[in-house]
Structure formats: structure tokens, C-alpha cells
Amino acid sequence: MMPYLIPLTQMSLAASCYSMVALTVERYISVCHPFFKQRHNVKAWVFLVPVGLFVLLYSSPRFFEMRIMFACETNATATAIESANYTTNATSIVVDTEPNCDFYYPYVDFNGIRTEPLYVTVS
């Protein structure tokens, strides 16, 4: 849940900020230029739909920043297992077993996308 909750929170924050700016522009046009609004019949959703699309496109890479990994806990060591080694069912998470593994515990790992210079600059 953690790899999806943080990007959704960031998306809602960005949507809140940009929708406030869009509604401010819409209010400015309706108050300062009332005849423009009557002549062109511009509604508030015309300002909000592009904001929603922009936020979806701009924030969608954030869903790929994190992944859930599973570590194998043995008596003396802990080794990481790739996230491709498990499948989710409706009731539980099934992990491919390793010999000599006593316990599997999940943790959040960051992908390499966060170290890309272009991604860091743009986001």
C-alpha cells in the first residue's frame, strides 16, 4: 500500500494547488472581463479538466519510484529477494521460498528512476 499511497498523496496535493490557480484565473476573467465570459460562454470545468489531465500525466511516473521487496531472514543473515519472486492472491502474498529461510519480511525499496538526472530536474 505504501508505494501507491505516497504518489496518490502527491497527486492530490498537486491537483489542489493547480485547481486553485485555475479557479482563480476563472474568477479573474468573470469579474474583470464579464463580457468576455458572456460572449464565449466559458464554464469552470473548462479550466479544471486540463488541470486534472496535467496532474495525471505529470504525477504518473511517481508510481514507479518505489516497489515492495521481500527479505529472507535467517538465523544470521538477511538476503533480498527480487519483487518478481512473489505473486499476490486475494487473501495473501505468496513468496517463492528459499532454502534455509526462516521468515520473509516486506520493505519498501526505491527504483533507479530517482537517480536519473533528467527525472530529478523535471520532478
State residue 21's pLDDT score: 92
Query: Across all residues in the chain, what is the average pLDDT?
Result: 76
Q: Per-residue confidence at 1, pLDDT binned at 50, 70, 90?
A: low
Which percentage of the chain shows pLDDT scores above 70?
Answer: 76
Q: Where along the chain do its domains lie?
A: 2-63, 65-122
Max alpha carbon distance in the chain (Å)?
Answer: 77
Using the structure block, give the residue that is written with the C-alpha cell 479550466.
47
Q: What is the pLDDT of residues 63-111, one digit of tens each?
A: 888 877 777 776 654 444 444 444 443 344 445 556 677 777 777 777 7
pTM above 0.85, yes or no: no
Using the structure block, give the residue that is written with the C-alpha cell 523535471.
122
Of 6-10, 47-51, 94-98, where does mean pLDDT reach its minimum?
94-98
Angle, helix 45-59 to helix 2-32, in steps of 10 degrees: 150
C-alpha cell recorded at residue 116 = 536519473
Mapped onto helix, strand or coil, the DSSP state of residue 101 is coil
Q: What is the pLDDT of residues 106-119, one digit of tens each?
A: 777 777 777 788 87
Mapped onto helix, strand or coil, the DSSP state of residue 95 is strand
State residue 88's pLDDT score: 43
Number of residues in the chain: 123
- The HSE-up count of residue 34 (CA atoms within 13 Å, CB side) is 1
- φ, ψ of residue 91 to 5 degrees: the values are -110, -30
- φ, ψ of residue 108 to 5 degrees: the values are -95, 130
pLDDT over threshold 50, residue 56: yes
